[in-house]
């Protein structure tokens, strides 16, 4: 799956968005395997339900992850 990643860091939280298409923001990460993408998601938010998160990205084309600091 082709992936772009956009990250916003604030004093209280980090917002990371993964996209399947170029939305004009973010860094192109390349055409990655499912396992690599799942590991990237878990690196951002280790306690996320990975099957649900990956399914959301696959179906909707975008996955926002909010991590509070």
Say what the pLDDT of residue 8 is. 96
Say what the pLDDT of residue 68 is. 93
Largest Cα–Cα distance of the chain, in whole Å?
Answer: 32
Domain of 29, in residue numbers = 2-68
What is the pTM assigned to this prediction? Answer: 0.92
| pLDDT tens digits in sequence order for the chain, 69 residues long | 999 999 999 999 999 999 999 988 899 999 999 999 999 999 999 999 999 999 999 999 999 999 998
Structural domains in the chain (count)? 1
Tokens 């992850």 -> residue: 65
């Amino acid at each position: 799956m082709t992936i772009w990643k956009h990250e916003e860091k604030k004093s209280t939280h980090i917002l990371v968005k993964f996209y399947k298409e170029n939305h004009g923001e973010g860094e192109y990460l390349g055409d990655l395997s499912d396992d690599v993408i799942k590991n990237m998601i878990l690196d951002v938010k280790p306690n996320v339900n990975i099957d649900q998160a990956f399914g959301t990205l696959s179906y909707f084309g975008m996955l926002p992850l909010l991590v509070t600091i």
